[in-house]
Structure 1
Amino acid sequence: MSSAPPPQSATREVPPPGLDPEQLRGFLDRERPGLVAGPLTARLIEGGRSNLTYVVSDGTGRWVVRRPPLGHVLATAHDMKREHRVISALHPTAVPVPETVLLCEDDSVLGAPFYVMEFVDGTPYRSAGQLAPLGPERTRAAVLGLVDTLVDLHAVDPAEVGLGDFGRPEGFLDRQLRRWGKQLDASRDRELPGIDELHAGLGRGLPASPAPTVVHGDYRLDNVLIGEDDRIKAVLDWEMSTLGDPLTDLGLLVMYSARLDIPHSPVSTTAAAAGHPAPQELIERYAARSGRDTSAISWYTAFAWFKLAVILEGIHYRYTLGQTVGAGFDRIGELVPVFIEHGLTTLQEG
Structure 2
Amino acid sequence: MEKMGDTIPVRSGEELNVNRLEAFLQENIVEVPNERLEVQQFSIGYSNLTYQLKIGEWEAVLRRPPLGPVAPKAHDMNREHHILSSIHPYYQAAPEPILFSDDDSIVGAPFFLMERKHGIVIDSEFPKGIVPTVEKCRQLSNIMVNQLADLHSIPYEKTGLAEISKPEGFMERQVRGWISRYERAKTEEIKEVGPLIAYLQTNIPHYSQTSIIHYDYKINNAMFNHNVSEMVGLFDWEMATVGDPLADLGVAMSYWTEESDPEMVKVGLGQASITTLDGFMSRDEFIQAYATKSGLDVSNMDFYRTFGYFKLAVILQQIYYRYELAQTKDGRFAKLGQMVNSLITHAAQVAAKEA
* Fold-level similarity (TM above 0.5): yes
Shift of 1:126: 2.2
1:47 aligns with 2:40: no
Q: Is the 8 A contact 1:319 1:330 kept in 2?
A: yes
Aligned pairs (5 A) from 1:184-333:
184-230=182-228, 231-259=230-258, 260-262=261-263, 265-267=267-269, 268-317=272-321, 325-327=329-331, 329-333=333-337
The change in CA–CA distance for 1:261 and 1:125 in structure 2 (over 3 A counts) is: farther
Note the alpha carbon deviations across 1:230-270, whole angstroms, 9 max, x for none. Answer: 12111100111111111111011222223234178332443
Q: Is the 8 A contact 1:143 1:221 kept in 2?
A: no
1:56 aligns with 2:57: no
- 1-side partners of 2:196 and 2:123: how far apart? 28
Identical residues among aligned pairs (%): 34
Q: Is the 8 A contact 2:223 2:232 kept in 1?
A: yes
Secondary structure at 1:143's aligned position in 2? Answer: helix
Aligned pairs (5 A) from 1:7-22:
17-22=14-19
The change in CA–CA distance for 1:205 and 1:318 in structure 2 (over 3 A counts) is: same
**Equivalences, count:** 338
1:25 aligns with 2:49: no
Of 145, 152, 155, the residue aligned with 2:153 is 155
Amino acid at match of 2:267: S
Note the alpha carbon deviations across 1:256-298, whole angstroms, 9 max, x for none. Answer: 2232341783324433122211111111111111111111111
Which of the pair has more CA radius of gyration? 1
Unaligned stretches of 5+ in structure 1? 1-12
Unaligned stretches of 5+ in structure 2? 1-8
| TM-score, scaled to structure 1 | 0.85
Amino acid at match of 1:243: V
Q: Is the 8 A contact 2:69 2:327 kept in 1?
A: no
| TM-score, scaled to structure 2 | 0.84
The change in CA–CA distance for 1:45 and 1:343 in structure 2 (over 3 A counts) is: same
2:108 alignment counterpart: 111
Q: Is the 8 A contact 1:315 1:329 kept in 2?
A: yes
Task: Decide which moves more: 294-303 or 327-336.
Answer: 327-336
Task: Decide which moves more: 285-294 or 108-117.
Answer: 108-117
1:342 alignment counterpart: 346
- 1-side partners of 2:300 and 2:98: how far apart? 40
Of 77, 85, 88, the residue aligned with 1:88 is 85
The change in CA–CA distance for 1:124 and 1:115 in structure 2 (over 3 A counts) is: same
- 1-side partners of 2:324 and 2:234: how far apart? 34
Amino acid at match of 2:21: L
Q: Is the 8 A contact 1:305 1:340 kept in 2?
A: yes
